[in-house]
């Protein structure tokens, strides 16, 4: 089973994604901050990360910069700032999905990034 780390400071977004992904057969773990996400990457060893861009402690960009492992990352954010999206892509982010969450789009991007 593929493991997905969901990182978002909004508990409602996390719960929606977690319930959906577990129904689709994925194993999930959640982090509500960038710092928590960095710790969980080592413990959980996810196959993919769904990462919010705007968080209070470390931004999604900072999390990507601090990760030392190569894990596919899909940014999920309400932020539409082109400069930040381009920076995320330059750091290796494979996909960028706008909130509100479209579950069909999320699933398609996960499949594409995991080679499923």
Residue pLDDT, tens place only, 68-104: 668 899 998 887 778 888 888 888 888 899 888 899 9
DSSP string for 10-68? -HHHHHHHHHHHHHTT-EEEEESSHHHHHHHHHHH--SEEEE-S--SSS-HHHHHHH--
Report domain extents, the chain.
Answer: 3-114
Q: Which CATH architecture has domain 3-114?
A: 3-Layer(aba) Sandwich (3.40)
61, 46 contact by CB (below 8 A):
no
Instruction: Say if residue 100 is preceded by a cis peptide, omega within 30 of 0.
Output: yes
DSSP H or E stretch at residue 6: strand 3-7
| Whether the predicted model's global pTM rises above the 0.75 cut | yes
């Amino acid at each position: 089973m593929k493991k997905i780390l969901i990182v978002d400071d909004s508990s409602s977004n996390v719960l929606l994604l977690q319930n959906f992904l577990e129904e689709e057969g994925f194993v999930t773990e959640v982090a509500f901050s960038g710092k928590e996400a960095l710790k969980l990457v080592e413990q959980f060893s996810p196959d993919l990360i769904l990462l919010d861009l705007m968080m209070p402690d470390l931004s999604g960009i900072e999390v990507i910069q601090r990760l030392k492992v190569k894990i596919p990352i899909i940014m999920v954010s309400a932020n539409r700032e082109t400069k930040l999206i381009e920076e995320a892509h330059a750091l290796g982010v494979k996909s960028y999905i706008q909130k509100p969450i479209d579950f069909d789009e999320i699933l398609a991007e996960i499949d594409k990034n995991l080679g499923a």
